[in-house]
Structure 1
């Protein structure tokens, strides 16, 4: 079979070169469009159900909300685990499904179950499904800051009503979560004495407040051969309009809200806060959807922030980037690119030092870009992304991508030189076919053994398999691509480039001859002392096994992200004000740490 492939490649040399050129161009275009992320897709289909139950303590939230929702979710098909967290006024239920299930169908099933749950929950308690996000979803943290004359309410409203809607409109953004500041709300403080004097009850007050600021419909009327809609326009957000709301009537005179209560704006009860550079601020967390290019989405977000900055209220800034996941990805890609260039340079130097011929070196090096760019096409077809694991697989394979080509081109070069001195010289075509066939079995066996070494990665289950399988896929794809290159493109390039120099009676380089002499001497000594060699090998294996047992273990190596996260856990029951005060003190300490920390920020949230 492989003889047939080599023969047909040599008979269709121009076609092979054209296909190689198309693969290089197509692969380069595909590589620039592949999604880029930190890690492979590790997202197990999970739906988050969040329920606000203001005023309830954790035990009541557990009994009245969480337990009811969990009971309904346990019977769904494909559910592997249901877990929950019940806090002060908040219930979060995580429903995990089996790998490979459709997340959108899962959400539809949960939505159907939630319609059955609503009647069993306390009044005004409505469960909601969270957005579809990624396990590495938090791609950016930014801080909104303002001078002292701008109130925290104005900063929070800017984040809620200007920044958040604009960022959610960007394709790929799953959620935008503001933290800190103050949420504006109306505050009505009734005066019991005034209410008793004017004869206003609490029910009347509550009813008036419920009906404030809404538009109502009155049907339509038929006048002058036309229909006119009847509307009651009452929509307003002004504090003065709330104060002038009619609560009741006494002796035909209206009683206004301002007569029985104090009306003002107040801050909603906080369950979290945030700070930046030792001062209160609003920190905005931006999360992405699964299978979205993090780098491209980050650039879209930055462009949107730049456009929004011009329309922000005076003094408010939204350009304080605390965390940018794309920095780590871009640095990783730059490091791999540098490694690739250095590896190609080292391989070129080594090949030239051994072969002492630029043509054979060029033929061998061709396998690297053709194999990598061909692998990029396969990545696209398989739905893989550029991430830490796939880049690691390519980096490991760099040195081996030229192995097949080197073995093939070196044997072809040697056989062409021998054919030049033969009594009956054969055609270049026959020499290249036979020379490739001589080493083909060894190349195939070596490649298959390497592939088999990585096969156990695909037997891993759960998140480990999802994490490490792309590394094996990238490695195997690139190695198999180099094998195809060695049986198609390498013989064709050898046909065009090697015969002219083979006629010049070139010999092996001095370095190659020196290593061959050293290898012969080492083999002779090893064959003379077989027991010593076997004992040394056994000792080496045992020593390596002992060292492997003593090596430190970790799920992932440490990443140099230039970002440090410090989690501080306080005693249960600590107030938000106290935890926020401690957070600001910690920020100040970090700012005083010799100038090495540029942008400290803190967030205090409920557990």
Structure 2
């Protein structure tokens, strides 16, 4: 089969070249659409169910909400496990499915069971599924800030409540329309509320109850339609507007009539505009702000979505009130572009080295260029395969490519063809005819076909066991194995089609087989070593055995880790305070921490943090925990641009230690989420204690 393919490639070389151009064009188009990220997303197939339950203690939340939801999720097709978290006023159940389960199908199953579970929940408690995103879907964060001295139209300064209103009613609705955005999460500031504070004594004086007050509000907060009438050929709608819109509307609602006197809400309660009882706050550089987060829709390109969000945010900024702006504080695009730039740099350097070495050893520039062309063509073939199979371009997938292996088959065919062409010309003592030249190229490719295909198939087979990995390790290493296999497959196809056709088309004229200086030097140095080894086989074998033993001993003494730590550039600092610390106290301590870092570490550009739980409880932290993001200045702006990362980490730890009352864990933004995605806890080691008696559990855990 391969012989006929080689013969066809030589005879129909124009057709082969056109097919290669078509493949290259398809590869370029695939590259432009290829999902790009820094690292593979290892999130398992999971659906979060968040339930807000104000006033419920952790034990009540677990008994009356979490238990009901978890029980109803049991028995779902493909269910792997469920885990839950019950806090005061919040229940979160995470339903994890087997790998390969379609997320949308999983959400449909969960939603069906959730409708059944809702009948078992306390009145007024509503359970909702989390956004259609992954654990690494937080790709873009911004703060809503008022510049110093900025004033509203009434001449008063902007408050956190005002900034929250701008976020909720101007910024958030517009960003949700950006393609690829699954949800917008908000934390910080205060949501504006109409608040009614009843006076129990006044209610008792009029013999009224809280239920009477609530019923009056429900009766008087609706618009009613009454059809229409026709008058003079015109149709007029009839409606009775009754929806509440102002504080006065609420205050003037009549609760009851006592001895002919209407009792209004203003008679028994104070009515005004107030702030919500929040469960989380956001800070930046020692001051409170409103923080927004974009959740990317699962399967989207993080770089494309981030760029679209940034462009939309710039457009929104032009419509905000004077003195107010939305400032980008974290953009995944920055990390992705750094990672891809690193990969590109390494790939380009590798390709250049391969081309130089090929030229030095082959001694024929046309032959070296034909061989080198296999590198970009195999890469374009790989991009097409990655796009078709939804494999993202990242450090793991692209970083595993080895150009030396990719061009190995092409080198063998080209070198053999050059040798046969040179010998044939020398034998005939003249230039070869076209048919003679084609015959020699075919013979050279046929001779190299078997070792070429076997060699590349062996390398592919080595990677096949990686596809048997499941779970987190499978998600991490499957892209690497797939990319290498598809690149080798492309190189093998090109070696028996493009390479023979290109040699037949472009390697014309007089061909010489001569060793270059590098090859002659290598042969002169290697010949005596080979002679000695062949004459002292026992000693050579013993030396190899000793080397293997020493290598095995050295390997056993080395440390190990799951994957190399990606340097994300910025840092994440988790502050853990005494359980029971109030949100206000945590925010105060967090502000002091941020000021200390800004003052003592000049390389830091900004520090922003989330304390407690956001509007969407994707990361349900208690009030005593803060997640800080430490964003660094460009290295060229550092006082000492050559300062090592280890020294910078020590400076950050020293600055954090100067603020007492907290324990700190330093990591990186993506790294911070990895452990939590897999096991539900952030630390490397966690102990779970099971039992029925809460007191015994607390004593054991302590």
TM above 0.5, yes or no, is yes
Cα deviation code 1:583-602 (max 9, x no counterpart)? 11111111113321101012
Q: What secondary structure does 1:281 align onto?
A: strand
Cα deviation code 1:46-69 (max 9, x no counterpart)? 111111111000000000011011
Query: What is the 5 A alignment of 1:270-285?
Result: 270-285=278-293
Query: What is the 5 A alignment of 1:142-541?
Result: 142-147=142-147, 149-217=157-225, 230-319=238-327, 321-394=328-401, 397-422=402-427, 427-502=436-511, 505=512, 507-541=514-548
Distance, in Å, in 2 between the alignment partners of 1:551 and 1:273 is 44
Query: Structure 1 residue 569 and structure 2 residue 576: aligned?
Result: yes
Distance, in Å, in 1 between the alignment partners of 2:233 and 2:415 is 97
Structure 1 partner of 2:628: none
Measured on the aligned residues, the alpha-carbon RMSD in Å equals: 2.1
Distance, in Å, in 1 between the alignment partners of 2:320 and 2:234 is 45
Aligned length: 602
Q: What secondary structure does 1:182 align onto?
A: coil
Cα deviation code 1:513-543 (max 9, x no counterpart)? 2212323222111101111111111122122
Structure 2 partner of 1:588: 595
Instruction: Please state how far the C-alpha of 1:454 moved relative to its aligned partner.
Output: 1.4
CA contact (8 A) 1:580 1:603 kept: no
Instruction: Please state how far the C-alpha of 1:99 moved relative to its aligned partner.
Output: 1.6
Distance, in Å, in 2 between the alignment partners of 1:57 and 1:36 is 44
Instruction: Please state how far the C-alpha of 1:226 moved relative to its aligned partner.
Output: 9.6
Distance, in Å, in 2 between the alignment partners of 1:447 and 1:213 is 74
Instruction: Please state how far the C-alpha of 1:189 moved relative to its aligned partner.
Output: 2.1
Distance, in Å, in 2 between the alignment partners of 1:248 and 1:203 is 12
Distance, in Å, in 1 between the alignment partners of 2:478 and 2:555 is 22
Distance, in Å, in 2 between the alignment partners of 1:270 and 1:416 is 81
Structure 1 partner of 2:112: 112
Range that drifts further, 515-524 or 587-596:
515-524
Distance, in Å, in 1 between the alignment partners of 2:135 and 2:209 is 52
Instruction: Please state how far the C-alpha of 1:11 moved relative to its aligned partner.
Output: 0.8
Range that drifts further, 141-150 or 75-84:
141-150
Distance, in Å, in 2 between the alignment partners of 1:431 and 1:222 is 96
For 2:555, which of 524, 533, 548 is the aligned residue? 548
CA contact (8 A) 2:38 2:340 kept: no
Q: What secondary structure does 1:54 align onto?
A: coil
Distance, in Å, in 1 between the alignment partners of 2:381 and 2:316 is 41
Distance 1:267 1:227, change over 3 A: same
Distance, in Å, in 1 between the alignment partners of 2:601 and 2:48 is 42
Distance, in Å, in 2 between the alignment partners of 1:197 and 1:123 is 30
Instruction: Please state how far the C-alpha of 1:3 moved relative to its aligned partner.
Output: 2.0
Q: What secondary structure does 1:393 align onto?
A: coil
CA contact (8 A) 1:416 1:499 kept: no
Distance 1:243 1:313, change over 3 A: farther
CA contact (8 A) 1:323 1:563 kept: no
TM-score by length of 1: 0.94
Distance, in Å, in 2 between the alignment partners of 1:30 and 1:193 is 73
Q: What secondary structure does 1:263 align onto?
A: strand
Range that drifts further, 408-417 or 422-431:
422-431
Distance, in Å, in 1 between the alignment partners of 2:144 and 2:368 is 56
Structure 2 partner of 1:13: 13
Distance, in Å, in 2 between the alignment partners of 1:429 and 1:192 is 103
Q: What secondary structure does 1:349 align onto?
A: helix
Q: What secondary structure does 2:400 align onto?
A: helix
Which structure 2 segments of 5+ residues have no match?
149-156, 613-620, 623-702
CA contact (8 A) 2:418 2:513 kept: no
Distance, in Å, in 1 between the alignment partners of 2:233 and 2:517 is 108
Distance, in Å, in 1 between the alignment partners of 2:509 and 2:568 is 53
CA contact (8 A) 1:275 1:281 kept: yes
Distance 1:40 1:558, change over 3 A: closer
CA contact (8 A) 1:41 1:290 kept: no
Instruction: Please state how far the C-alpha of 1:31 moved relative to its aligned partner.
Output: 0.9
Instruction: Please state how far the C-alpha of 1:87 moved relative to its aligned partner.
Output: 0.6
CA contact (8 A) 2:419 2:513 kept: no
Structure 2 partner of 1:46: 46
Distance 1:436 1:517, change over 3 A: farther
Distance, in Å, in 1 between the alignment partners of 2:232 and 2:14 is 85
Instruction: Please state how far the C-alpha of 1:74 moved relative to its aligned partner.
Output: 0.6
TM-score by length of 2: 0.82
Instruction: Please state how far the C-alpha of 1:262 moved relative to its aligned partner.
Output: 1.7
Distance, in Å, in 1 between the alignment partners of 2:515 and 2:211 is 103
Instruction: Please state how far the C-alpha of 1:252 moved relative to its aligned partner.
Output: 3.0
Which structure 1 segments of 5+ residues have no match?
none
Query: Structure 1 residue 78 and structure 2 residue 78: aligned?
Result: yes
Distance, in Å, in 2 between the alignment partners of 1:481 and 1:316 is 54
CA contact (8 A) 2:185 2:293 kept: yes
Distance, in Å, in 2 between the alignment partners of 1:517 and 1:434 is 30
CA contact (8 A) 1:364 1:490 kept: yes
Instruction: Please state how far the C-alpha of 1:573 moved relative to its aligned partner.
Output: 1.0
Distance, in Å, in 2 between the alignment partners of 1:50 and 1:33 is 34
CA contact (8 A) 1:41 1:291 kept: no
Q: What secondary structure does 2:95 align onto?
A: strand
Cα deviation code 1:270-293 (max 9, x no counterpart)? 211110111000111211111101
Q: What secondary structure does 2:194 align onto?
A: strand
Higher relative CO (Cα under 8 Å, sequence separation at least 6) belongs to: 1
Q: What secondary structure does 1:188 align onto?
A: strand
Structure 1 partner of 2:699: none
CA contact (8 A) 2:131 2:295 kept: no
Structure 1 partner of 2:565: 558
Cα deviation code 1:452-501 (max 9, x no counterpart)? 22122112111211210110110111112111111111112212332313
